[in-house]
């Protein structure tokens, strides 16, 4: 505090605030600095945990195989009263087909029986979605004979949502829970029919089935030098929230079902979600969700004409996909992506660093048994991991143990991350509240009418009777009902008890800390005006927000007016921010002394 023309100058950082309940708020800057420090430490922990989680997930997926194949058996649809035994027997990772002249067993990564629910399937899909959020390109494909449930698995029905709507939901919920990064998503949908591509989200849909199909698409596939693929001309809609994403997804579904009538079984439908993760660097990844055309063989259907062409096209597309997967599995240097439109589009999402999940669908009916065997043979070939039957028991056990360890590590890290994320959110809210409170005080200063150099009346101090109290307040501990930083001082409690008349007078309190109020160096506080401003402002504040009340004076910084020099004056730091008292509002010295002593 300095003396200026008979006015007492109080360092701005000495400011304290009084809450409506009489509590005194002190040490704001320390609180804010501590919070900032804590948030920064939590963020660094968050990055560390996220790295650990990613590494564990990568290892887990690699160990499980970057091309995983599941099988789902559709429930039996009874076409006649004749009850026949299903040729299919299902285990957890095993499926046996037994019929006249057929006895085969297939090993896959996971088999879902007829009773499996959409939730069961999605639970197994979830880890791969995390991989997509971590920056890997991911492909989830539904393969199988017509009518075996591909669309049911991918899209689902109203009450039983399939993988696509659940995945969209999961992406948004993950993005909102992850405070370490921000994500943005966009969606595209297209259909591949007879080797042509159709944009399902284009503003106007072109209906074509026969001659138009070769000319209707203006989509072209471009491979960039870096190996990524651009589908030029394909509509890509940015979706800021789940609602918008669902709206566009439904629109794409409608476009598909209303335009190319009756081609659903011979066309492949692709939904692409582009994930942008904004952090220090931007990571872009693609999540492809694909409902492939029916895989039945042409000979069986006895097709001719257009149906024959459609069958050939889908067969070409599926066999090209099979060839690509086989080449990838065998780690061949040449992967034949160019053999079909489908594999060209997916070329950067099936290869190195990508994760592929294929859900092969089969019918439990006796009449479909040969198609079932074909589909399962395709499935087994596609797996990147050798069948367990070729692996020794010891190795199997070791693998299971390692998988369980990684699973546990991911689970624990996610728990820790969840806790850290919540803590960051809480701290950020708390920090924001404190900053707002401070900015309100600053606003009170700038509201000072007329003068940019606002003044704060602190009371007159006689040269001979400078305050002696220099000790810190004994306790600022919370009484439990308010945060600890808002605990009352002895002074506030005394004043609160003393009645309202004393409240109206300017007071001196000890300041404990500096307050980093963002004022220009020339600004200072006027007690009276601030009090009024703060009172007025308290309408806008929540009821718990304090009004400016106190005139904190750091006693060891108290300086005396020009003609009476305090002994501490020489050592007192001179600050540009100061509060100047007005003689008319000076408090008698004895009042001041009493108050100062009450602080001890
Ligand atoms: N797991 C299941 N649970 C209950 N109903 C199912 C299941 N799988 C398929 N269905 C039903 O079987 C019928 C055929 O399924 P769906 O249309 O999904 O087959 P699809 O393989 O997509 O056929 P397409 O190749 O013609 O598109 C639908 O009525 C669907 O609701």
The distance from CA 549 to its chain's CA centroid, rounded to whole angstroms, is: 42
- Please name the residue whose Cα sits nearest to atom 8 of ligand 1: 149
The residues, ordered by sequence, that sit 6+ positions from 95 with a Cβ below 8 Å of its Cβ are: 71, 73, 88, 89, 105, 106, 108, 111, 362, 376
**Distances 214 to 196, 217, 220, 265, 274 between C-alpha atoms, Å:** 6, 7, 13, 19, 27
What is the rounded average pLDDT for all residues in the chain? 71
Write down the pLDDT at residue 15: 55
What confidence score (pLDDT) does residue 127 get? 86
pLDDT of residue 555: 38
* Location of structure tokens 């850290």: 420
DSSP class per residue in 228-270? -EEEET---EEE-SHHHHHHHHHHHHHHHHHSSTT-TTTSEEE
Pick the closest to residue 104 from 385, 372, 381 (CA basis): 372
Q: What is the pLDDT of residues 443-481, one digit of tens each?
A: 776 665 444 443 333 333 333 333 333 333 333 333 333
pLDDT at residue 223 in the model: 79
Half-sphere exposure of 37 (CA within 13 A, CB side): 6
**Measured from the CB, is residue 582 less than 6 Å from ligand 1?**
no
Which residues partner with 556 through β-bridges? none
* Distance between Cα 433 and ligand 1 center (Å): 53
Atom of ligand 1 nearest to the CA of 148: 21
Q: Is the CB–ligand 1 distance for residue 162 below 6 Å?
A: no
Tell me the per-residue pLDDT of 87-144, one tens digit each, with 9 for 90 and over.
899 988 899 999 888 899 998 989 999 999 999 999 999 988 988 998 889 999 999 9
Residue 570 contacts residue 475 (beta carbons within 8 Å): no
Question: HEC states along 167-205?
Answer: HHHHHHHHHHHCCCCEEEEEEEEEEEECCEEEECCCCCC
3-state secondary structure of 18: strand
Q: Which of 156, 164, 167, 166 is nearest to 132 (CA)?
A: 167
Ligand 1: nearest atom to the Cα of 293: 25
Angle between the N-to-C axes of helices 28-64 and 118-133, in degrees from 0 to 180, rounded to the nearest 10 = 110
CA 195 / ligand 1 centre spacing (Å): 24
Strand locations in 407-516 (E): none
Nearest to 399 by CA among 2, 78, 45, 60: 60
* Encoded tokens for 38: 């804590």
Which range among 106-110, 167-171, 222-226, 331-335 has the greatest average pLDDT? Answer: 167-171
Q: What is the mean pLDDT of residues 481-504?
A: 41
Distance CA 477, CA 297 (A): 79
Distances (CA, A) of 584 to 22, 95, 459: 26, 96, 9
Ligand 1 atom closest to the Cα of residue 114 is 1
DSSP 8-state class, residue 550 = -
What residues form DSSP beta bridges with 271?
189, 289
**Digit-coded pLDDT (tens) for 163-175:** 999 999 999 998 9
CA geometry: angle at 51 spanning 48 and 55, to 5°?
Answer: 145
- Band the pLDDT of 20: cuts 50, 70, 90: low
In this model, does residue 19 exceed pLDDT 70?
no
How far, in Å, from the CA of 151 to the mean position of ligand 1? 6
Q: How far apart are CA 138 and CA 128, in angstroms?
A: 7
Does residue 595 line the site of ligand 1, with CB under 6 A? no
Nearest atom of ligand 1 to the alpha carbon of 72: 1
**Ligand 1 probe mutation, 147, 156, 257, 265, most atoms within 8 A of CB:** 147
Distance CA 122, CA 110 (A): 12
Residue 151 near ligand 1, beta carbon < 6 Å: yes
Q: CB of 127 closer than 6 A to ligand 1?
A: no
Q: Percent of the chain scored above 90 by pLDDT?
A: 24
**Distance, CA 288 to ligand 1 centroid (Å)?**
20
Closest CA to 71 of 378, 376, 360: 360
SS3 207: coil
Return the best residue to mutate from 152, 268, 290 for the ligand 1 pocket (most ligand atoms within 8 A of CB): 152
Distances (CA, A) of 531 to 12, 126, 241, 457: 15, 57, 44, 10
CA distance linking residue 99 with residue 364, whole number of Å: 12
Ligand 1: nearest atom to the Cα of 152 = 18
* Residue range 275-327, pLDDT digits in tens: 999 877 788 999 999 999 887 654 454 455 555 666 666 677 888 888 888 88
pLDDT band at 382 (very low <50, low <70, confident <90, very high): confident
Report whether pLDDT(385) > 80. no
Tell me the CA–centroid distance for residue 363 and ligand 1, in Å. 10
88, β-bridge pairs: 97
> Is the shortest distance between the CB of 147 and ligand 1 below 6 Å?
yes
Nearest atom (ligand 1) to Cα of 77: 12
CA distance 75 to 414: 36
Kindly give, in sequence order, each residue whose CB lies less than 8 Å from that of residue 481, ignoring residues fewer than 6 positions away.
none
For ligand 1, atom 27: residue with the closest CA: 265
Question: Given this model, what pLDDT does residue 27 score?
Answer: 61
575: phi then psi, degrees, rounded to nearest 5 = -120, 150
Q: Give the tens place of pLDDT for each residue, 550-595.
A: 333 333 333 333 333 333 333 333 333 333 334 334 444 344 444 4
- What is the C-alpha separation between 492 and 513, in angstroms, rounded? 17
- Ligand 1 center to residue 157 CA distance, Å? 10
150 lines ligand 1 (CB under 6 A): yes
Expressed in angstroms and rounded, the spacing between residue 358 Cα and the centre of ligand 1 is 16
Helix (H, G, I), strand (E, B) or coil at 95: strand
Structure tokens at 461: 């101090």
Q: Is the CB of 264 under 6 A from ligand 1?
A: yes
Say how many Å lie between the CA of residue 162 and the centre of ligand 1: 11
Taking the C-alpha atoms of residue 447 and residue 300, their distance in angstroms, rounded to an integer, is: 86
Cα(284)–Cα(305) distance, integer angstroms: 43
Is the Cβ atom of 554 under 6 angstroms away from ligand 1?
A: no
pLDDT for the residue numbered 79? 65
Report whether residue 145 contacts ligand 1, using a CB cutoff of 6 Å.
no
Q: Where is mean pLDDT largest: 79-83, 96-100, 203-207, 307-311?
A: 96-100
What is the per-residue DSSP string for 319-336?
HHHHHHHHHHHTT-S---
Domain with CATH 3.40.850.10 in the chain: 144-262+277-359
- Cα separation, 291 vs 189, in Å, equals 11
Given a contact cutoff of 8 angstroms between Cβ atoms, the answer to whether 14 and 525 are in contact is no
Pick the CATH number of 144-262+277-359 from 3.40.850.10, 3.40.50.2000, 3.40.1620.10, 3.30.70.3280: 3.40.850.10
Residues in the chain, total? 600
Alpha helices (runs of H) in 447-537, residue ranges in sequence order: 490-498, 500-503, 527-537
pLDDT tens for residues 179-198?
778 899 999 999 988 778 88
Is the predicted ipTM greater than 0.95, yes or no? yes
Q: Report phi then psi at 509, rounded to 5.
A: -130, 165
User: Is 156 a pocket residue for ligand 1 (Cβ < 6 Å)?
Assistant: no
Residues 145 and 292 sit within 8 Å (Cβ to Cβ): no
| CA pair distance 407, 64, nearest whole angstrom | 12
| In contact, 47 and 521? CB cutoff 8 Å | no
Ligand 1 centroid from CA 147, angstroms? 5
**Spatial separation of the C-alpha atoms in residues 58 and 51, rounded to whole Å:** 11
Q: Is 133 helix (H, G, I), strand (E, B) or coil?
A: helix
User: Could you tell me which residues are annotated as the binding site for ATP?
Assistant: 144-151
Q: For ligand 1, say whether the CB of 149 is within 6 Å of any of its atoms.
A: yes
- Over residues 366-380, the mean pLDDT reads 91
pLDDT at 334: 87
């Amino acid at each position: 505090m300095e003396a200026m023309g008979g006015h007492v100058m109080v360092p701005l950082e000495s400011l304290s605030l009084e809450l409506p309940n009489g509590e005194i708020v002190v040490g704001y800057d320390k609180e804010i600095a501590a919070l900032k420090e804590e948030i920064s430490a939590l963020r660094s922990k968050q990055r560390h945990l996220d790295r650990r989680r990613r590494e564990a997930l990568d290892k887990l997926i690699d160990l499980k195989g970057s091309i995983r194949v599941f099988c789902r058996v559709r429930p039996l649809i009874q076409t006649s009263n004749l009850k026949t035994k299903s040729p299919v027997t299902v285990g957890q990772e095993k499926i046996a087909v037994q019929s006249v002249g057929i006895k085969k067993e297939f090993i896959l990564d996971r088999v879902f029986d007829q009773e499996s629910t959409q939730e069961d399937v999605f639970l197994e899909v979830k880890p791969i979605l995390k991989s997509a959020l971590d920056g890997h390109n991911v492909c989830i494909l539904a393969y199988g004979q017509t009518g075996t449930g591909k669309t049911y698995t991918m899209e689902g029905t109203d009450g039983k949502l399939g993988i696509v709507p659940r995945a969209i939901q999961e992406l948004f919920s993950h993005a909102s829970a992850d405070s370490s990064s921000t994500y943005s998503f966009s969606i595209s949908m297209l259909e591949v029919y007879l080797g042509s591509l159709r944009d399902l989200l284009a503003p106007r849909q072109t209906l074509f089935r026969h001659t138009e199909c070769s000319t209707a698409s203006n989509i072209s596939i471009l491979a960039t030098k870096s190996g990524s693929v651009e589908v030029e001309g394909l509509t890509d809609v940015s979706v800021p929230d789940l609602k918008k994403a669902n709206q566009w997804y439904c629109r794409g579904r409608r476009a598909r079902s209303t335009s190319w009538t009756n081609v659903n079984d011979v066309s492949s439908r692709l939904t692409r979600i582009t994930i942008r993760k904004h952090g220090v660097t931007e990571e872009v990844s693609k999540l492809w969700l694909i409902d492939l055309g029916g895989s039945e063989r042409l000979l069986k259907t006895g097709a001719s004409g257009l149906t024959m062409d459609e069958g050939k096209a889908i067969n070409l597309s599926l066999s090209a996909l099979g060839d690509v997967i086989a080449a990838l599995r065998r780690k061949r240097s040449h992967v034949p992506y160019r053999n079909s439109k489908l594999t060209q589009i997916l070329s950067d999402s099936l290869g190195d660093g990508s994760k592929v999940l294929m859900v092969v669908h089969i019918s439990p009916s006796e009449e479909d048994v040969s198609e079932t065997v074909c589909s399962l043979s395709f499935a087994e070939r596609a797996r990147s991991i050798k069948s367990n039957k070729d692996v020794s028991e010891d190795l199997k056990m070791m693998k299971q143990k390692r998988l369980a360890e990684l699973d546990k590590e991911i689970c624990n890290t996610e728990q820790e991350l969840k806790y850290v994320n919540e803590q960051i959110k809480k701290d950020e809210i708390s920090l924001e509240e404190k900053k707002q409170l401070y900015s309100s005080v600053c606003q009170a200063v700038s509201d000072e009418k007329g003068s940019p150099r606002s003044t704060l009346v602190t009371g007159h101090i006689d040269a001979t009777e400078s305050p002696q109290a220099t000790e810190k307040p004994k306790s600022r501990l919370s009484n439990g009902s308010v945060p600890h930083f808002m605990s009352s001082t002895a002074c506030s409690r005394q004043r609160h008890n003393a009645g309202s008349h004393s409240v109206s007078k300017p007071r001196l309190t000890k300041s404990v800390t500096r307050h980093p109020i963002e004022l220009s160096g020339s600004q200072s506080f006027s007690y009276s005006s601030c009090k009024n401003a703060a009172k007025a402002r308290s309408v806008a504040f929540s009821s718990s927000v304090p009004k400016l009340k106190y005139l904190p004076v750091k006693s060891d910084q108290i300086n005396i007016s020009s003609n009476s020099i305090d002994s501490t004056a020489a050592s007192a730091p001179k600050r540009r921010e100061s509060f100047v008292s007005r003689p008319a509002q000076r408090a008698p010295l004895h009042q001041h002394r009493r108050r100062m002593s009450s602080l001890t």
